[in-house]
Structure 1
Amino acid sequence: MTKIAVAKGDGIGPEIMDAVLHIFTAAKVPLEYEVVEMGKWVFDKGYSNGMTPEAKQTIETLGILFKGPMETPKGKGVKSVNVTARKTWNTYANNRVFQTLHGVDTVFSKAGIPIDITVVRENIEDTYGGVEHMLTHDVALSRRLITRPGSEQVIRYAFEMAKKKRARRITCGHKANIMKITDGLFLEVFYEVAKEYPALKADDVIVDDLCMKLVTRPDTFDVVVLTNLQGDIVSDLCAGLVGGLGFAPSANIGDHICIFEAVHGTAPDIAGKNIANPTALLLSGIAMLRHLGLMESAAIIENALLYTLEQGVHTGDFGNKAIPALNTTQFADAIISNFGKQPEQGAKPIIANLPRTQTHFKLEKNEMMETKDSAPELIGGVDFFIESNEQPIAIANKCMRHAGVKFKLINISNRGTQVWPTGSVYTNLVNLYNARFESLDDRPLNQQDVLGLYISLSGDFKICSSELLLKLGEKKVYSLAQGQ
């Protein structure tokens, strides 16, 4: 008997979780449940991360968390408990499967176009790092962190999953045409990993084009892997293709801890009325059973769900309005009554459970993920982000006085567009400029040189932020300004 942690969630969370666990109990799923305290009501008790220390310890001991939807209090300066949980336990791959469900009408099901798309979203990095600052009273900054080790983790997971699924195609969605360093790194790693899977067709699509193609020909896609924010948007788009978030399961996969959850909201307007649709959480639970090796239980429950939907049984949020809607409990009971029945479409084979040894582990230290340097790392210059409402020529004249014998002022940009030494008076400005200094005659620089320039320049400007301009060998690994 395997024990897992269960967090029922907020709003409709407790009632849909009770419905799913009722189905599991009726199917004699060999699981034990330890309920943990997480969610908005835990925030309200004074726990800033939305979970009690006891809950954190239990989840880290058991390694599996099954959770309902959770609300983060607004206006209290706290982080989302959902994002915190995924990042704290390094569940680096968010796996969402979007399939046509017969009985859930969409424009594609009515047109006879089948959908079976798996979106794998990087779950830790990108803008979801939440590293933000106000640099001036007019300018906010969000740091977008993409790492080679983090990209390789999620991309390798996507390829392994696609191989097991016997996928015909794996696609990288990206914006490397604009974000050449960050998305460019993600795309580079994608094709590096692809070389190890020659049997899989691997290709890439710019994310805006991907969205258009998904809503016109979704049946041409199989597995799609994306960075965090783009993956968040695309996965919700795909949910819309199959009926909405009420039919979108979610698994957050890590090396040690995994989280299975419903990604839809807490629906406070219907909370406590016992009318919510538990399908998304049930599908997430079925994915959890397969992850745990409980293949027979997963197939029995999923077939019963698919058969129930085919018969037109529904809750109030979908289905044929001529057929009376069932409440949450009645919908769960209808699924239970259909155990052993096979749907006409998409029936899952009943296969034996896979052996699994319950693993209790305790890590002694944080794992450092670092790839081997491929070339020497050199400092080629520095970007200084300075606050000023002066014109570009005035800023350039001041900056050049501080360049000294080791630096030369290369250019000045505003919101990423060059405004000096060339530019246009039609470029609107804000009060944050980037002054770029590079090494004079490509001489080697060190951090003391940069600090000396920082101190000198600070006599004329408020320096809001700075970034070293790195070179890997002879390759410059920093972006140019528009128009540079």
Structure 2
Amino acid sequence: MKIAVAKGDGIGPEIMDAVLSIFDAAKVPLEYDFVDMGKWVFDKGYNNGMTDEAKNTIETTGILFKGPMETPKGKGVKSINVTARKTWNTYANKRVFQTLHGVDTVFSKAGIPIDLTIVRENIEDTYGGIEHMLTHDVALSRRFITRPGSMQVIRYAFEMAKKKQARRITCGHKANIMKITDGLFLECFYEVAKEYPELKADDVIVDDLCMKLVTRPDTFDVVVLTNLQGDIVSDLCAGLVGGLGFAPSANIGDHICIFEAVHGTAPDIAGRNIANPTALLLSGLSMLQHLGLLESAGMIENALLYTLEQGVHTGDFGDKSIPSANTTEFANAIINNFGKKPSLSPKPELEDVPSTCTVFNLDKNPMLESIEEGNETIAGVDMFIESNLQPNEIAEKCLRHAGVKFKLVNISNRGTQVWPTGSKFTNLVNQYNARFESIDNYPLNQQDVIGLYVSLSGDFKISSLELLHQWGEKKGYSLAQGQ
């Protein structure tokens, strides 16, 4: 089976060579097609950090195994890691965090075992990277949460939880504040939960989740979150088991999957052959399991766990009274322990499940769209205007432009209502949201909104606008704080 391999930047080539040497010694039936990705590719003028040949190879093999990669700073280019995940729609980021004997943590010393799987939505949220300066003082980032994208990752999380016989699956969210976006994600979670009655499904507000994870991580099993929250929580969980050096990552899509270590490139130790390859090796084992190479994965993982249990370690962890091994020596120790099993928590060595990478030849981009429920209407519009006037002065001008179809409902600043009621103690910035709604539910169209825009633009610079959609009785917009 052929897979694409990108060694990465910094310590990437060293740890990738170490991992592949372990695979080769285990006679893992894989063929490697090395591709050009990373900082040095950016430096050659490729703005997406990969050559055309690399892109074609990855899309042909369907599997990318990659080392850590650096994105040049200050050059206006996007992260190669995020670009790869989004380009190939690897919508589910799975990270498994387990107690590793030989890696001391607060919890291992207390005898509290950790076996957590974090599933992070991998495409949407603020990682769309769509940002604008609305005024010289106000920046806007758009946060996209979609029903089809949420359903993809949540259904994957439930199916994975079912296969691993999880005792609990939890949705982490902030729907108490972000009622529309996180509210949609939470709604999708419970919609999918109905299809898996055998799984205990619940939800926790993300800040409460973080507190519970650092006090009783053993009470959680599988946790699914939106992109940014999942990014933060997964790094928190890495800290529970020893750090990012022990955090594997699998990015799962319908057509292409990416397996990588999530730690950085560590340029300060690059080329010294002292880096810890454990995270990349664990990511590689996740790849082998995904490909059905269960026998090789089980044998290598047991050898790794046995090696750690024996006290073998690189310089970043372990018993300091025992001399540390370099990257090559650590890999060789694992190879020499093939066939041995740890005394604590050995992994089952299952038979391979015959598998091949399906090559998809798509002739167009897949369109994800759910069935629309209820008739869509335009209930009004939010006009985001730049001004340093006081709220009453803003309202006086806006009221002159409302006309016979719109009524000015409220004015807010940074999401807090400042008109028709408010407080003089609310600090203001030079960006207001004037909300206009239809008079007596009069049916509005985009031409009505454009007419209001043209009229208002005589008095204000309008930075942005958002239509207020409604489906039946369900409003597709939030209220201002204090409204």
Task: Identify whether the pair has TM-score above 0.5, normalized to the shorter chain.
Answer: yes
Distance in 1 between residues matched to 2:300 and 2:227, nearest whole Å: 31
User: What SS does the corresponding residue of 1:336 show, helix, strand or coil?
Assistant: helix
Q: Could you give the per-residue CA deviations for residues 157-207 of structure 1, whole angstroms, max 9, x where no partner exists?
A: 000000000000000000000000000000000000000000000000000
Q: What is the Cα deviation at residue 238 of structure 1? A: 0.1
For 1:394, the aligned partner's letter is E
Structure 2 residue aligned with 1:479: 478
User: What SS does the corresponding residue of 1:69 show, helix, strand or coil?
Assistant: coil
The residue correspondences of 1:407-426 to structure 2 (distance < 5 A) are: 407-426=406-425
User: What SS does the corresponding residue of 1:304 show, helix, strand or coil?
Assistant: helix
Structure 2 residue aligned with 1:247: 246
Distance in 2 between residues matched to 1:85 and 1:334, nearest whole Å: 33
Distance in 2 between residues matched to 1:131 and 1:360, nearest whole Å: 32
1:428 aligns with 2:401: no
The residue correspondences of 1:215-254 to structure 2 (distance < 5 A) are: 215-254=214-253
The residue correspondences of 1:59-70 to structure 2 (distance < 5 A) are: 59-70=58-69
User: What SS does the corresponding residue of 2:144 show, helix, strand or coil?
Assistant: coil
Change (3 A) 1:292 1:427: same
Q: Is the 8 A contact 2:62 2:357 kept in 1?
A: no
Structure 2 residue aligned with 1:102: 101
Q: Percent identity?
A: 83
Distance in 2 between residues matched to 1:269 and 1:363, nearest whole Å: 42
User: What SS does the corresponding residue of 2:156 show, helix, strand or coil?
Assistant: helix
Q: Could you give the per-residue CA deviations for residues 303-351 of structure 1, whole angstroms, max 9, x where no partner exists?
A: 0000000000000000000000000000000000000001011211111
Structure 2 residue aligned with 1:309: 308
Structure 2 residue aligned with 1:389: 388
Distance in 2 between residues matched to 1:346 and 1:248, nearest whole Å: 18
Distance in 2 between residues matched to 1:357 and 1:330, nearest whole Å: 33
For 2:366, the aligned partner's letter is E
Calculate the aligned-residue CA RMSD, in Å: 0.5
For 2:229, the aligned partner's letter is Q
1:214 aligns with 2:213: yes
1:178 aligns with 2:199: no
* Most deviating of 363-372 and 346-355: 346-355
Structure 1 residue aligned with 2:4: 5
Distance in 1 between residues matched to 2:454 and 2:343, nearest whole Å: 73
Q: Is the 8 A contact 2:412 2:419 kept in 1?
A: yes
The residue correspondences of 1:2-401 to structure 2 (distance < 5 A) are: 2-401=1-400
Q: What is the Cα deviation at residue 483 of structure 1? A: 0.6
Distance in 1 between residues matched to 2:475 and 2:197, nearest whole Å: 31
Structure 2 residue aligned with 1:448: 447
For 1:342, the aligned partner's letter is K
User: What SS does the corresponding residue of 1:463 show, helix, strand or coil?
Assistant: strand
Q: Could you give the per-residue CA deviations for residues 238-290 of structure 1, whole angstroms, max 9, x where no partner exists?
A: 00000000000000000000000000000000000000000000000000000
Q: What is the Cα deviation at residue 357 of structure 1? A: 2.9
For 2:446, the aligned partner's letter is Q
For 2:74, the aligned partner's letter is G
User: What SS does the corresponding residue of 2:60 show, helix, strand or coil?
Assistant: helix
Distance in 1 between residues matched to 2:474 and 2:170, nearest whole Å: 28
TM-score w.r.t. the length of structure 1 is 0.99
Q: Could you give the per-residue CA deviations for residues 77-106 of structure 1, whole angstroms, max 9, x where no partner exists?
A: 000000000000000000000000000000
Q: Could you give the per-residue CA deviations for residues 368-410 of structure 1, whole angstroms, max 9, x where no partner exists?
A: 1000011111100000000000000001000000000000000
Q: What is the Cα deviation at residue 476 of structure 1? A: 1.4
Q: Is the 8 A contact 2:94 2:117 kept in 1?
A: yes
Q: What is the Cα deviation at residue 361 of structure 1? A: 2.0
* Most deviating of 357-366 and 238-247: 357-366
Distance in 1 between residues matched to 2:350 and 2:474, nearest whole Å: 53
- Give the aligned length: 483
Distance in 1 between residues matched to 2:167 and 2:359, nearest whole Å: 36
Distance in 1 between residues matched to 2:475 and 2:442, nearest whole Å: 14
1:439 aligns with 2:471: no
Q: Gaps (5+ residues) in structure 2?
A: none
Q: Could you give the per-residue CA deviations for residues 112-152 of structure 1, whole angstroms, max 9, x where no partner exists?
A: 00000000000000000000000000000000000000000
Distance in 2 between residues matched to 1:178 and 1:481, nearest whole Å: 11
Q: Is the 8 A contact 2:291 2:356 kept in 1?
A: no
Distance in 2 between residues matched to 1:238 and 1:278, nearest whole Å: 19
For 2:205, the aligned partner's letter is I
Q: Could you give the per-residue CA deviations for residues 4-62 of structure 1, whole angstroms, max 9, x where no partner exists?
A: 00000000000000000000000000000000000000000000000001100100000
Change (3 A) 1:358 1:231: closer
For 1:458, the aligned partner's letter is S
For 1:367, the aligned partner's letter is P
For 1:180, the aligned partner's letter is K
Distance in 2 between residues matched to 1:322 and 1:49, nearest whole Å: 45
For 1:37, the aligned partner's letter is D
Distance in 1 between residues matched to 2:89 and 2:204, nearest whole Å: 27
Q: Is the 8 A contact 2:386 2:462 kept in 1?
A: yes
Q: What is the Cα deviation at residue 358 of structure 1? A: 3.4
User: What SS does the corresponding residue of 1:163 show, helix, strand or coil?
Assistant: helix
Q: Is the 8 A contact 2:409 2:435 kept in 1?
A: yes
Distance in 2 between residues matched to 1:197 and 1:185, nearest whole Å: 19
Distance in 2 between residues matched to 1:246 and 1:218, nearest whole Å: 19
User: What SS does the corresponding residue of 1:315 show, helix, strand or coil?
Assistant: coil
TM-score w.r.t. the length of structure 2 is 1.00
Distance in 2 between residues matched to 1:357 and 1:28, nearest whole Å: 17
For 1:142, the aligned partner's letter is S
* Most deviating of 210-219 and 466-475: 466-475
For 1:450, the aligned partner's letter is V
User: What SS does the corresponding residue of 1:371 show, helix, strand or coil?
Assistant: coil
Q: What is the Cα deviation at residue 360 of structure 1? A: 2.0
